[in-house]
Structure 1
Amino acid sequence: MANLPLATSQTAKNVELTPAVHAYLLAQAEPPTAVQRDLIARTQTLGGPAEMQIPHEQAVFLTLIGKLIGARHIVEVGTFTGYSTLALALGLVPGGTVTTFDVSEEWTRIAQDAWRAAGVADRIDLRLGPAAEHLRALPQLPWVDLVFIDADKPGYSTYWQELVPRVRPGGLLLADNVLYAGEAADQDATGNASAIRAFNTIVRDDPRVESVLLPIADGLTLARKREP
């Protein structure tokens, strides 16, 4: 029994996420503000790309995590229309800043409108351009409290390697879409799913952190930087 995978050696306690159960789950989260509702609606007008917006319950989780650790310095890779950035900004301590990276002026204009409406624009430092280049330019010392990665999937591993050294001991790193609609569990995964599968292995084997993969939305990695 000791050599069996954990999934077969313990009783499974996962719950089937039926529409009724999902609706109940959503009802337990703090409801979206008027600004958040407007941002959801505006993002939906983009059509297909709108699926990149994180669900509201995940936004509530991001805000709560920031508050729990007293986050002052947050780095986000992948802004899109700014829903996650807004959630992160709401979790900052007074005087804190979210530094967020994206490549789209069109999508981030929508984000900036929402940030101004929510009164958090002064807490957000938006930087446009290739994220890897911007990350390399950040101070090379452990000053970041919280990281959220939600961008191009092949870039995850690069972003991780740039950010882990810059996270303070006890700081957190979050990565979204780490189940990739379940495709990351396939040993023969291709494309983005293959990139996510490789990233998950890097995180699991990284001695600098302790981590867990949570079944929130499309899968969310939560990792804590170990003490030196």
Structure 2
Amino acid sequence: MVPTMVLVADDSRDAGRQEALHGLADAVAQRGEAPVVPAFGSGSEVHRAVDSVEGPMVVVPAFVAGGDLASSRTFSGIDLDGRFDACPTPPLGAVPSIVGDLAGRLVDTGWDSRDGVVLAADGSTGQDERQVVADVARMLSRRLGSPVQVGYLNSWAPSVGDAVERLRRNGRDNVAVAAWRLVEGRDYDRLHEMGAASVTAPLWPSEIVVDSLLAQHRAAKARLAA
């Protein structure tokens, strides 16, 4: 029996975010590899959706590590104790294809090696996600051949705005923001208010995101079968 993929995120903040998340769930389902259940909403709504799934399931974050503080809190609160047929996965992180796509998005905005780069993350409840963001920044820096500064929107320091200003003080007149988040929404819109010359689009839509989520499902399915 193929485990159900349960995609988890907080979508309670705005309609644009809801639409993007459901579009992602539809795109994953259309691949036909596994049944997909969207568990989007507030914490209680997510818990009800997870509890409603019968049979084996793989619980997959529909967000990137450090890229969605609210969803990270919701995901960490899911109780799978006693569900021996359930396997959670970590959020997407320093996946080479995703980081490569992010680098391409920067170039598409007009970035060149004379410009600064801020990797704009959100924050999370765990230090492990902060380490993933640092890993993404290092990988992106190697891809670009240029330094990458990390900034945060809702947790940790420095803030995105402070990171942009620091690069400007260091002689980078133009600073591009690489948005480390899966979908659009009000938090993403705030990035356009940080004084950067450009902001990349969210990582979704991209078939690379769908590929990466399904790869996580396959790995978890193998663990469940072991």
With structure 1 as the length reference, what TM-score do the two structures score? 0.36
